[in-house]
Structure 1
């Protein structure tokens, strides 16, 4: 099963940047997301997205060492257009 990374880097000056990539497993996807955010801030803290007290499954917010939000990502299984039957 392929895993799809959808990552958004927040940038108030030039606008947000969306990055997508495909991986063979969740661990590789999450490591790629971490490395991307480490390119912006050496220290990164990942926390689940929790709007209004509810968690959005699989969506994570990255915070820099100053507490600012760097972006968000999710690693989810790719959906296949093939239908078996």
Structure 2
């Protein structure tokens, strides 16, 4: 039985753009719901850092702001119910 080799990629991965830098945001605020919605999936989950292209510090700020906005009922919790 022969094993097939994985296909080789010719192009490197696409560099994710930092949305916070593009918006000119230095400090993430939990009241800025329009900005925070860009970091939430359609199911209400927080997008991963490799998807958003944020730095670790910015991702932590975004995650904390989303959690605070959820507590204040500005954003939905994830809908994982089946």
TM-score higher than 0.5: no
Name the structure where helix makes up a greater proportion of residues: 2
Give the TM-score, by structure 1 length.
0.27
Give the TM-score, by structure 2 length.
0.28
Name the structure where strand makes up a greater proportion of residues: 1
